[in-house]
Structure 1
Amino acid sequence: MAIHIKDTVQAVDASAVLGLLPARPRLLGLGEPTHGEDMLLDVRNELFRHLVEEGYRTIAIESDCMMGLIVDDFVTSGTGDLGEVMERGISHGWGASASNRELVRWMRAYNDGRPASEQVRFAGVDGPLEMTGAASPRQAITALRGYLAARVDADLLPCTAETLDRLLGADDRWDDPATMMDPSQSVGRSAEARELRLLADELVALLDEQTPHLMAESSPDEWDRARLYGRTAIGLLRYHFWLADTSPGRMTRLVSVRDSMMAGNLLALAERGPALVHAQNSHLQREKSTMRMGGESLEWWSGGAIAAAHLGEDYAFVATALGTIRHQGVDAPPPESIEGLLYALPEDRCLVDAPLLAIALGDKPPAPRESPWFGYFGLDPAHLAAIDGIVFIKDVPQR
């Protein structure tokens, strides 16, 4: 019997999403095709609230993993003021989003009066990175050394705090945005940076060697954060190393290191799981990600693809696709595109069984939708079989 496109859609809710999957995943990735649209975040917030009823306890977003600790402290213990937490706890300028603010406010209200075992948690899965560069590794590497110094014999530490401070130097040497376009401005391959990479490796090795003792001497949160410090310090130093590179593979290596850092954070979340993860589709998809940057075509494996390779059915990916974002020049999609076929349906919002849609489309999937705006990425029809579901939103209004 032929499958029609209308037979692949249903209402969007948590039980429907979980019903598409062979098993309840520890990591449920919800992608978005563009950033900065609160309507998409409203859908995410609603889905997360319903997933909490299904036993999910963490939401992670595409934001600085170190800054995210500020938000997590606020939602679990009320530390800080909501306004300051939004400014200091969410990167990329997304703390100003009304929908992100509502998410954090709701999480704090939900947790109030609940025991720690029942509380919802917040995490950032991105590194301390922006499109214009990367942060100094100071915060991560000094926090890791401080954690170890408080719990192991001083003779086991590979360096003093003063040594780290000397090697790090001024932070503006590291976070100078000029390094993204000019490798010669980067300190990532200086003698000091090379020594810092060795010391970060030694500190993480000490963390691993002392695992039984450290876990016994730490709360679960302290242990998780120490491991986060280690991953972030090593990842940042590796990222700065490639910022200083002058080879043709420089940009591919940079986007690959970024997503490798994301993958490390995703796998750590899976240990604590189950969690909802929200990021750009290209950071969560199972297939190779592609992008054009500065006239160069880049291909790399996303954080989600790496995590999926490790987790199998404990990882799921639901993409989001859109019909229009008219205030950004994205008008009605071509009728023959995936977005166009879904746009023709009467629903303003629906959940699509992606593998079933692939069957309905047959052996000749439609051509990818070309976006007139660089900030929006259409679905690649060739990826349908590797997507568990699609949240389709017909029109995204301007707010």
Structure 2
Amino acid sequence: MATDIKDAVHTVDAAAVMRLFTGRPRLLALGEPTHGEGALLDTRNELFRQLVEQEGYRTIALESDCMTGLIVDDYVTSGAGTLDEVMEHGFSHDWGAFEGNRELVRWMRAHNTGLPTSERLRFAGIDGPLEITGAASPRQALTALHGYLAARVDADLLPCTAETLDRLLGADDRWTDPAAMRDPARSVGQSAEAGQLRPLTDDLAALLDAQTPYLITATSQDGWDRARLYARTAAGLLRYHHWMADTSPARMTRLMGVRDQMMAHNLLALVGRGPALVNAHNSHLQREKSSMRMGTVRVEWWSAGALVGTRLGKEYAFVATALGTIPHQGVDTPPPDTVEGLLYALPEDRYVIDSSQLATALGDTRPALRVSPWFGYAPFDPAHLARIDGMVFVRGVPQT
């Protein structure tokens, strides 16, 4: 069996990844089983550089706040701000502190220097302005959308004034109260003001669509694209806050689903830019339902990858990443009957795996599901093997 498995593994490079597909996918999703580990980020960065240089990829999208991601995009395309400022303010979840992300942004800026606008690399965040402790106020996205329209269309077409939005939004800390994540009664998401904001947001988004030909001419494609980002982010945040105030048993299922819906909408918006590499947790990019256990309750929802893959078909590709060891988190040598254990027994540190060849090599053997001793790492589920386009395996991360 070992010889057969060796036939399924290849050197980690862009050429090996592209051989997994019959054509170049418009969205190539590279998953990861945990966040922030340097070996995974280095592998991602190396693959992205090769995809840019050899395959014409022009965008990288990360599981980070789509609004703050505009700061990163401005820096890599035009040099706005400083690298330190961008890493501090351009990423959510404190991921600007990861050296691999810093190196990615530095390289993209250097690559773009001197290139025509049409050839410059782009950066995007695909997550909503969401943290584990809660969600941002819709103020930034909603006022940016209103401001974009107010500066360019007849005031009589606007559904409300900026002052009305400001009054309905109120203080931002009403929206960002971390206690609302555990106590629906603390959420303002189903208040009378929030109820008025939702149709106003819908009307602003409809006005943006209705004025598309004029707005793109008056501003630019990029300007209109950003306004669309503001519109879908404002609507998504209001929807998320609405369900934060929900008291039904489906509350967490809805919240998880809204988050991945927001990711899916942001991914679909990238399609027109040309081929893009997307890097996020495996659970957000897989074609199967995602799940997590919260106490005694198992919560399931459709991932962003499942939603996008259904829309794009073969133009969406998902390459999962599996990992052998994370010594500093107590994730030691994987059991030999798991997918990670079978790959860990091979001699090299990194591989691209042809999942169909691996499935053939395994035959009727059903690998066991690895059990993680650390909540921050999710092992690869062998039941998903038939629904991935390939796999990257990293043997381990250095002890820190």
Cα offset, 1:296, TM superposition: 2.1
Q: Give unmatched runs, 5+ long, in structure 1.
A: none
* SS of equivalent to 2:298: strand
TM-score by length of 1: 0.98
Q: Is the 8 A contact 2:38 2:397 kept in 1?
A: no
Look up the match of 1:37: 37
Look up the match of 1:352: 353
Q: Is the 8 A contact 1:30 1:278 kept in 2?
A: yes
* SS of equivalent to 1:174: helix
Look up the match of 1:106: 107
Q: In the TM superposition, what whole-angstrom CA distance separates every residue of 1:284-321 from its partner, at most 9, and x where no partner exists?
A: 01111111123321111111111111111111001110
Listed as ranges, the matches of 1:43-82 within 5 Å are: 43-53=43-53, 54-82=55-83
Cα offset, 1:3, TM superposition: 7.9
Q: Is the 8 A contact 1:3 1:359 kept in 2?
A: no
Cα offset, 1:2, TM superposition: 11
* SS of equivalent to 1:189: coil
* SS of equivalent to 1:4: helix
Look up the match of 1:16: 16
Look up the match of 1:309: 310
Tell me, in whole angstroms, the C-alpha distance in 2 between the residues paired with 1:358 and 1:327: 31
Tell me, in whole angstroms, the C-alpha distance in 2 between the residues paired with 1:94 and 1:273: 26
* RMSD across aligned positions (CA): 1.3
Cα offset, 1:359, TM superposition: 2.1
Q: What is the letter of the counterpart of residue 6 of structure 2?
A: K
Q: What is the letter of the counterpart of residue 148 of structure 1?
A: L
Q: What is the letter of the counterpart of residue 343 of structure 2?
A: L
What percent of counterpart residues are identical?
A: 73
Q: What is the letter of the counterpart of residue 7 of structure 2?
A: D
Listed as ranges, the matches of 1:280-319 within 5 Å are: 280-319=281-320
Q: In the TM superposition, what whole-angstrom CA distance separates every residue of 1:123-142 from its partner, at most 9, and x where no partner exists?
A: 10000000110000000011
Q: Which deviates more from structure 2 when the two are superposed, residues 264-273 or residues 362-371?
A: 362-371
Tell me, in whole angstroms, the C-alpha distance in 2 between the residues paired with 1:309 and 1:12: 28
Look up the match of 1:368: 369
Tell me, in whole angstroms, the C-alpha distance in 2 between the residues paired with 1:359 and 1:210: 53
Q: In the TM superposition, what whole-angstrom CA distance separates every residue of 1:172-222 from its partner, at most 9, and x where no partner exists?
A: 110111111111100000000010111101111111111222222221110
Q: Structure 1: which 4+ aligned runs deviate by more than 4 Å? A: none
Listed as ranges, the matches of 1:1-399 within 5 Å are: 4-53=4-53, 54-399=55-400
Tell me, in whole angstroms, the C-alpha distance in 1 between the residues paired with 2:301 and 2:362: 27
Tell me, in whole angstroms, the C-alpha distance in 2 between the residues paired with 1:335 and 1:368: 11
Cα offset, 1:398, TM superposition: 3.1
* SS of equivalent to 1:383: helix
* SS of equivalent to 2:49: helix
Q: What is the letter of the counterpart of residue 383 of structure 1?
A: H
Tell me, in whole angstroms, the C-alpha distance in 1 between the residues paired with 2:383 and 2:200: 44
Tell me, in whole angstroms, the C-alpha distance in 1 between the residues paired with 2:95 and 2:26: 26
Tell me, in whole angstroms, the C-alpha distance in 2 between the residues paired with 1:364 and 1:194: 54
Q: In the TM superposition, what whole-angstrom CA distance separates every residue of 1:154-174 from its partner, at most 9, and x where no partner exists?
A: 100000000000000000110
Q: What is the letter of the counterpart of residue 265 of structure 1?
A: N
TM-score by length of 2: 0.98
Q: Give unmatched runs, 5+ long, in structure 2.
A: none
Q: Which deviates more from structure 2 when the two are superposed, residues 203-212 or residues 259-268?
A: 203-212
* SS of equivalent to 1:394: strand
Q: Is the 8 A contact 2:252 2:299 kept in 1?
A: yes
Tell me, in whole angstroms, the C-alpha distance in 1 between the residues paired with 2:211 and 2:31: 37
Q: Is the 8 A contact 1:128 1:134 kept in 2?
A: yes
